[in-house]
Structure formats: structure tokens, C-alpha cells
Amino acid sequence: MDRGKFSTSYGCAVDKVVTLSHPAGVGGKSTAVKRLYIKTYGCQMNVYDSARMADVLAPHGYVPVDSPDGADMVILNTCHIREKAAEKVYSEIGRLRPLKEDKAARGERMILAVGGCVGQAEGEEIIVRADCVDMVFGPQTYHRLPELIVRATRATGEKVVDTEFPTEDKFDHLPEEARPQGASAFLSVQEGCDKFCTFCVVPYTRGAEQSRPVAAVTEEATRLVAAGSSEITLLGQNVNAYHGVGTDTAEWGLGRLLHHLAENVPGLKRLRYTTSHPRDMDDALIAAHRDIPQLMPYLHLPVQSGSDRILTAMNRRHDADTYRRTIDRLREALPEIALSSDFIVGFPGETDREFAETIRLVTDIGYAQAYSFKYSPRPGTPAAVESQVGETVKDERLATLQQLLRAQQTAFNRSKEGAVMPVLFDRPGRYEGQIVGRSPYMQSVHVTAPERIIGSVVDCRIIGVHNNSLRGEILTATTESGENAATVERACA
Ligand code: 5AD
Ligand code: SF4
């Protein structure tokens, strides 16, 4: 697939739709409140992008709401990475159509937009197939949302497709964050990918690798912490390929960026980064795990397969042994580091023996948790035209791998029973009086405590272990707000 196929910008007037009045204030700033519903699919980068879309639209009177019912604008921020992504989007559009029609019957307008990677990959096709969609845009053009809305709401009934990879930097045009992200925040530092793994759409939908300057990242991190975030996860499709301009104008790698943030953003208690490529785990980044106390002892480092032949066919640019050595080096630097990975089973041509090599690698390494997927042909990617492994075989391999990964996750969780660890509480639990946080190793930890502890890092003893989470009790005498957490807990019980 040619990345250029996706770099065209269209401003097409496909079909006329019912043309309603221009919504007040779009294009210029307005205080008239308009309801904005964004549905986010896929990865953390999309979660971050959705928050930034809301930031872009906030000065134009758009306020996020939890339901598409009655919304003035609905954005589907889509993901194209795996199976049936486009079909899921068309089904969702089908569910939204009656809501849009209801609103039109009341003489009001719902602007329906498809953004994200399906928008980028499908472009105009979305409007051809679903004429109730007003706008299609990709991940690199959402800073232009206000002007796209103006075009989409013209009396001419223009449909708008903007899937360009613009020369201007999206981040230079985004406003400051309008709303706090909470205890744990995402910060995009790198976008796009030049690796071209043969199964993956990301290089086509997100474009070429780009890194934000250290100063811009530091400013955003400082604002996030000032707004109440204690933990920041640096995001990038290939985050450890980060090569942003440093404060000395030299190019800095991710290890140096992490040091800089840890030292220059007071109040930043925890740092994480995702997603990384094994080829880009350089010495400075490995040493950062040893040397930066704020950098959490957890790393998501996808390997995809344990077979060298499959890794070559995937164009992964590393073999199984190099991956194993990287893990050894990480464990030498920080013995407690917990590891996570992505796996694809049933890549075209994968034999039983090659799949067994994946099982062996998983057995040897021992993961704290992992994600595993059946290979799904992505249109336009090189592997999609190779001869495919049958569905039944894929199902069997996935079940075998997931059983092993689940056992490893349970074993890892059990190894923490009785341990005392700092937990960052970031959300209320499902049950009355319960709050939930993250251990340093990314495990969910549930405790009984009042909601005012949310936002604090508090020492907990792990008193119960489930497959996917831990149960804890609070130990620390004082929370960061100076409150006595033990008293707080008793007061609640
Ligand atoms: N089929 C199955 N899994 C895929 N992934 C990416 N593309 C595909 C595909 N075509 C998985 C990889 C990647 C994760 C984000 O999604 O494991 O690391
Ligand atoms: Fe896709 Fe990751 Fe490979 Fe880039 S490195 S092509 S994002 S799987």
C-alpha cells in the first residue's frame, strides 16, 4: 500500500443533504452551548486525540456529553488496526442515523463526523456509503475541526473530507488542554511510524514518524501536573523512536526526554511510555529504567512472534534472540520490571512449529500481562495478499497462547500477594465505597476508601489476588493532601 494513497485532500460536494441553519458560533468563538459526543475506538492515542478534539471545539461552545442523543455534533474517532474496523463504524453510523433524523425533524442539526484511522483509510468512500455523514477527517487534521465544521454547515450542503498529511504541525495549532485529564494523563510525544511491519496499517493511516520538541512536551506535562495529574504516560505509535529537538537544539532520544521530565516537572510522580519497538530500546532508555525513580517498572514491548522466519516476513527488523537479549538487559537494569507484549497468531504461512517457537519464547520470558490477536488481513498491507492460515487453526493457536498468558498473569499477580506497594488511585470502583488505582506494574488495585483519596499515591498491602486485579488495604499514614489515610479508611467503613 502506498502511503501517498492516503495523503490526498478532498473537498468534495458529494450528495446534497437537508441543509439547516448554520449553527451559531461555529467558525467564530461563541458561548452558545452545543453538545459534543465523541466515541473513541482503539488505542490510548485515540483517547488522547479525542480529548484534544474536545479542546479544539471548546472555544466554539462545544461541551462534551455522554450520549449521542440530542447531540449537536457526533465524532466517531475510529481505529483501523484490526478486524472489521470499517464495518463496525458503518454499523455505528446506522445506529446514529435515526438520532440525526429525529433532530432534523425538530428543525435542528446533528453534524456527524468520522475521524481517526478509518476516516484516513476510507476517506470519501465513507460518505459514498453513508450519506448521513457530514465530515471525514484523519488523525493529522483535527486541529482544523472548526473550519471543517464551517464548510460542512454551509447552505450548499457540502460534504467535507480532509485526509491530508498537512505540512503544518497539528500540535502548533492545538489550544491548551481545556479540561483536566485526572490522576493519570496521556501526553502524545511522537506520532506515525516508519517501520512498515507487513501486517500493520499505522504507517499509512498515521503517516511518517514525527516527534514533538522537548520544550513543548515539558510545557504540556507541567500543565497536566498543575491540573492535577500525578502520572503521565508518554504516547507514540513507536514512542521509543522519539527523536525530538532538545532544549540545546540537539536531537534527544526518549531516555533523555524521560530524565528531563523527571527532573523538571515538579509534582510529576510517575512516568510511563507506550508503545515501543524492540529495535529502538537503546542503552540510554534501558538505563533510564534503572536511574529514574519516577519511571514505573513496567514495559509494553511487543514481539509479535517467537519465530525468526515469521519475524522476517513481518518485517520486524529484529529476531527472537535479539528480543531475548533486550529483555535480559532490561532485567539487569531493573530486576523487578514487569513485561507486557503483543502477539499475532496465524500470520500468513505460520506453521505449527513456528507457532511453537512463540510459545517457547513466552514460556522463557514470563509476562505480567499481554495482548494476543489472530492475524487479520488489513487491506493494502503486504501480508494481506499472502496465503492465509485457516480460521480454525488461528482459533486454536490463540486459545493455546491465551491460556499460557493468563497463567503467567495469574502467577505474576500471586507473586505480589502480601506485598506493600504504592498505588495511584484514579477512579471510583463499581461498588459503593470502592476506589481503584494502579500498582507500579499496571495492575488494577481495589480498596475500600473514600473518593477523596483519588489522585493520591498511597501505600497499600495486597491482601487478595484475582486474575485481572488485586485487592488491597491502605497502609500509609498520610495521603498527599496531608490527610490520615488510615483514619479516612475507618471513617468510611
Ligand atoms: N492483525 C492482527 N493484529 C494486528 N495488530 C496490528 N495489526 C494487526 C493485524 N493486521 C496488533 C499487533 C500490534 C497491536 C497494536 O495490534 O500485535 O502490536
Ligand atoms: Fe505498526 Fe508498530 Fe510495526 Fe509501526 S512498529 S508498523 S506501528 S506494528
pLDDT in tens, 425-464: 999 999 899 999 999 999 999 999 999 999 999 999 999 9
Q: Which sign does the torsion angle of CA 221, 225, 229, 231 carry?
A: positive
Which atom from ligand 1 is nearest to the alpha carbon of 343? 17
* Cα–Cα distances in angstroms (integers) from residue 434 to residues 387, 422, 445, 447, 487, in the given order: 50, 17, 10, 6, 16
Q: Which of 22-36, 170-184, 351-365, 393-407 has the lowest mean pLDDT?
A: 22-36
- Encode pLDDT of 276-296 as tens digits: 999 999 999 999 999 999 999
Per-residue pLDDT, averaged over 341-359, amounts to: 98
Written as nine digits, the cell of 163 is 485526509
Q: How many whole angstroms separate alpha carbon 137 and alpha carbon 164?
A: 8
Instruction: Decide whether any atom of ligand 1 lies within 6 Å of the 6 Cβ.
Output: no
Q: What is the DSSP letter of 384?
A: G
Q: How far is the CA of 227 from the centre of ligand 1 (A)?
A: 34
Q: How far is the CA of 267 from the centre of ligand 2 (A)?
A: 33
Instruction: Decide whether any atom of ligand 1 lies within 6 Å of the 373 Cβ.
Output: yes
- Encode pLDDT of 375-389 as tens digits: 999 989 999 999 899
Written as nine digits, the cell of 57 is 471545539
Which atom from ligand 2 is nearest to the alpha carbon of 237? 7
**CA geometry: angle at 306 spanning 300 and 309, to 5°?**
130
Classify domain 420-492 by CATH number: 2.40.50.140
What's the count of helices (H) and strands (E) in the chain, helices before strands? Answer: 15, 21
pLDDT at 480 over 80: no
- Encode pLDDT of 398-422 as tens digits: 999 999 999 999 999 999 999 999 9
- In this structure, the residue with its CA closest to atom 1 of ligand 2 is 200
Q: How many whole angstroms separate alpha carbon 405 and alpha carbon 409?
A: 6
What pLDDT score was predicted for residue 207?
Answer: 93
Instruction: Decide whether any atom of ligand 1 lies within 6 Å of the 376 Cβ.
Output: yes
Give the right CATH number for 170-414 from 3.30.70.2190, 3.30.565.10, 3.90.79.10, 3.80.30.20.
3.80.30.20
* Cα–Cα distances in angstroms (integers) from residue 208 to residues 66, 229, 307, in the given order: 33, 30, 28
136 touches 130 (CB < 8 A): no
Per-residue pLDDT, averaged over 25-35, amounts to: 63
HSE toward the beta carbon, residue 390, CA cutoff 13 A: 4
* Cα–Cα distances in angstroms (integers) from residue 474 to residues 231, 442, 448, 471, in the given order: 19, 18, 8, 10
Q: How many whole angstroms separate alpha carbon 153 and alpha carbon 207?
A: 29
What pLDDT score was predicted for residue 295?
Answer: 98
What pLDDT score was predicted for residue 180?
Answer: 87
Give the right CATH number for 7-162 from 3.40.50.2300, 3.40.50.300, 3.40.50.12160, 3.30.200.20.
3.40.50.12160
Q: How far is the CA of 311 from the centre of ligand 2 (A)?
A: 13
Q: Percent of the chain having pLDDT more than 70?
A: 90
Average pLDDT of the chain, as a whole number: 90
pLDDT at 27 over 90: no
Instruction: Decide whether any atom of ligand 2 lies within 6 Å of the 254 Cβ.
Output: no
DSSP string, 16-35: -----PPPTTTTS---S-EE
DSSP string, 249-309: SSEE-HHHHHHHHHHHSTT--EEEEE---GGG--HHHHHHHHH-TTB-SEEE---B-S-HH
- Encode pLDDT of 147-195 as tens digits: 999 999 988 888 999 998 987 888 888 988 888 899 999 999 999 999 9
Which atom from ligand 1 is nearest to the alpha carbon of 199? 10
Q: How far is the CA of 38 from the centre of ligand 2 (A)?
A: 26
Domain boundaries along the sequence of the chain:
7-162, 170-414, 420-492
Residues listed for the chain: 493
What pLDDT score was predicted for residue 476?
Answer: 67
What pLDDT score was predicted for residue 376?
Answer: 94
Ligand 1 test: best mutation among 45, 118, 199, most atoms within 8 Å of CB? 199
482 vs 98, higher pLDDT: 98
Per-residue pLDDT, averaged over 220-234, amounts to: 97
